[in-house]
Chain A
Amino acid sequence: MSADDTIDPSRRDFLYIATGMAGVVGAGALAWPFIDQMRPDASTLALSSVEVDVSSLTPGMSLTVKWRGKPVFIRNRTPEEIEVAQKVSLNELKDPLARNANLTSDAPANDLDRSAGEGKENWLVMIGVCTHLGCIPLGQQGEYGGWFCPCHGSSYDTAGRIRKGPAPENMAVPVFSFISDTKIRVG
């Protein structure tokens, strides 16, 4: 066998490296579909928007809709709730970012940027999932009058901002828009 090596070592080296490379690249390329199939599939992604009629919500009322398997809280906030939330200064917040998918990622967590915006400050639309480990917080409870997560005790304020407990972030505001005065499209 060693005779071959001495006669034409470069030929064997070439085969060795080429086979090895093809093996590595092939295995990698083949592994990807196995991982890729685990990601959310087309039908899951297709459920990506819901339309909600909010005409029946008077101030102080909320409703929950299911979007992408998660609850979305839509709340028509009372003037008092808005006022309390507006008074909070940014440096009192655990998470100073708005986490609002409709704004830039560095938008600050002031009350306006958490709400549906200028003229629609009373509307709060957010994914009702605790940013700690994913439980659903209970509305109008807890120390800050917003939401309270029973799982590990996180308290959110009336703008859905994390104020106390293990959760690291404010509850996320999904992409949404008012398609008419009384209709919201989430997603």
Chain B
Amino acid sequence: MSGGHSTYTPKTGIGRWIDARMPLPRLVYDSFIAYPVPRNLNYAYTFGGILAIMLVAQILTGVVLAMHYVADTRLAFDAVEKIMRDVNSGWLLRYLHSNGASMFFFAVYIHIFRGLYYGSYKAPRELLWILGCIIYLLMMATGFMGYVLPWGQMSFWGATVITGFFTAIPLVGTWIQELLLGGFAVDNPTLNRFFALHYLLPFMIAGVVVLHVWALHVVGQTNPTGIEVKSKTDTVAFTPYATIKDGFAMLLFFLLFAWFVFYIPNFLGHPDNYIPANPLKTPAHIVPEWYFLPFYAILRAITFNIGPIDSKLGGVLAMFGAIAVLFVVPWLDTSKVRSAVYRPWYKLFFWLFVIDAIFLGWLGSRPAEGSYVAMAQVATLYYFAFFIVVMPVLGLIETPKRMPNSITEAVLAKNKGGAGHPAGATASPETKG
């Protein structure tokens, strides 16, 4: 898939003139038009495109919101209310932005689970995977700091609790926390710097996305069979096949997005965030945004000391560890077979993991008391066991199913008889170059 020689031939004089000086149209043509993709990609593979468009959407709505927003503790809450009530179409832009963040995370979670299911992280795609993990980290930082900006009760106390994590670090913890806050508590300096960073980070994400796509185009996409592309009949051209499929999936995704924005815009938010921040009163029940809940549950599951590590540091380490472990997944999975389609046991453990992650999310929204704590401990144990035990061990002992020899063979076997499948799937890719 990689390094295929370019088939771009500029048709106009201007096209040739530009191509000789800066072949940007050629790059676009080779990357998004002629670029060969496996012919058997399913809808799970459309989330990369959805993520890209969501990033653009967040940046667009964000920049417009920033024109009306004021990063000052005395004014921020009212500025957001002004956006909601006075600014023309302000309510729509804000709901697009706040629900857009949720949609963005929803898409990234599907994208990550897709990767775990089809073994997308395996050689030679380790770097591609790691770049994805970096994007996810940056997204989390951006989402967290964005949530502080409306300066409601959850903004303030969420920021207090999350920056409080750093005080768990021995010796330098408090120093680091004060460095982040610019004071001894969350206050005006904190709001100001969070706004500056919230504006900056999405552009850094865009930069890493470029690297992510670059790496993708060097090694090529995986596909549900996990078998590498071997011949031309295994692929179709990006345009029109992938473009249409991605476009159609985006449309469906936008319907869901619109449903949230227009019918239940505050469903994923917390009502306490419509109460202005009050540094002297903690809400009865602090919860982060839904997309952080599984990690919040892991944080609170560590209620016991582990040797010299007290429960507070232990919780923080477990929470960061839950994200850090994603980075080493390519080296934890020992299986020679890439896709879960041919790994009956892995498939089972994978779906258990999905359920476990959702369960952790639900536990994160519950108070940390009684049986919830014990359940969170069990769920946390499985979360880590999936990566640290199941992945390495299963790869060594599991007997995979028989694999087809190529993507083409797999596709033809599925559509036995050949005649029944839509013309698009077989329209010979050769004619597309």
Candidates B163, B185, B284; contact of A69 at CB < 8 Å: B185
Residues of A participating in the B interface, judged by any CB pair closer than 8 Å: 35, 38-41, 44, 64, 66, 68-71, 129, 132-136, 149-153, 166-168
Report whether A35 and B286 are in contact in the complex, using a CB–CB cutoff of 8 Å: no
CB distance from B316 to the nearest CB of A (A): 9
- B-side contacts of A149, CB under 8 Å: 282
- A-side contacts of B315, CB under 8 Å: 166
From known contacts A68-B184, A135-B161, infer whether A153 and B280 are also in contact, taking CB-CB under 8 Å: no
Which residues of B from 293 to 314 have beta carbons under 8 Å from A? 300, 303, 310-312
- B-side contacts of A150, CB under 8 Å: 282, 284-285
From known contacts A152-B300, A168-B312, infer whether A44 and B183 are also in contact, taking CB-CB under 8 Å: yes
Report whether A135 and B160 are in contact in the complex, using a CB–CB cutoff of 8 Å: yes
Report whether A133 and B160 are in contact in the complex, using a CB–CB cutoff of 8 Å: yes
In the complex, identify which listed stretch (B26-34, B80-88, B186-194, B223-231) lies at the interface while the others stay far away.
Answer: B186-194
Q: Does B157 belong to the interface (CB within 8 Å)?
A: yes
- B-side contacts of A35, CB under 8 Å: 179
Report whether B282 and A151 are in contact in the complex, using a CB–CB cutoff of 8 Å: yes
CB distance from B177 to the nearest CB of A (A): 9
A41–B186 Cα distance when bound, in Å, is 14
A151–B288 Cα distance when bound, in Å, is 12
Q: Does B281 belong to the interface (CB within 8 Å)?
A: yes
Candidates A41, A68, A133; contact of B161 at CB < 8 Å: A133
Report whether B279 and A69 are in contact in the complex, using a CB–CB cutoff of 8 Å: yes
From known contacts A41-B189, A150-B285, A153-B368, infer whether A134 and B311 are also in contact, taking CB-CB under 8 Å: no
Candidates A38, A41, A69, A135; contact of B282 at CB < 8 Å: A135
Report whether B164 and A134 are in contact in the complex, using a CB–CB cutoff of 8 Å: yes
Count residues on chain B whose CB falls below 8 Å from chain A CBs.
35
Q: Does B178 belong to the interface (CB within 8 Å)?
A: yes
A41–B367 Cα distance when bound, in Å, is 37
A156–B312 Cα distance when bound, in Å, is 16
Least CB separation from B280: chain A residue? A71
A150–B281 Cα distance when bound, in Å, is 11
- A-side contacts of B279, CB under 8 Å: 66, 69-71
8 contacting pairs across A/B (C-beta < 8 A): A39-B179, A69-B183, A69-B186, A133-B164, A134-B161, A134-B163, A135-B157, A152-B300
Q: Does B48 belong to the interface (CB within 8 Å)?
A: no
- B-side contacts of A39, CB under 8 Å: 178-179, 182
Q: Beta-carbon contacts of B166-186 to A below 8 Å, as 1s and 0s?
A: 010000000000111111111
A127–B284 Cα distance when bound, in Å, is 19
Candidates A38, A69, A129, A166; contact of B193 at CB < 8 Å: A38
Report whether B189 and A44 are in contact in the complex, using a CB–CB cutoff of 8 Å: yes
CB distance from B383 to the nearest CB of A (A): 19
CB distance from B387 to the nearest CB of A (A): 25
Least CB separation from B312: chain A residue? A168
From known contacts A40-B182, A150-B282, infer whether A69 and B160 are also in contact, taking CB-CB under 8 Å: no
A9–B311 Cα distance when bound, in Å, is 58
From known contacts A133-B165, A151-B286, A166-B311, infer whether A69 and B179 are also in contact, taking CB-CB under 8 Å: no
A132–B369 Cα distance when bound, in Å, is 15
CB distance from B166 to the nearest CB of A (A): 10
Report whether B286 and A41 are in contact in the complex, using a CB–CB cutoff of 8 Å: no
Report whether A136 and B284 are in contact in the complex, using a CB–CB cutoff of 8 Å: no
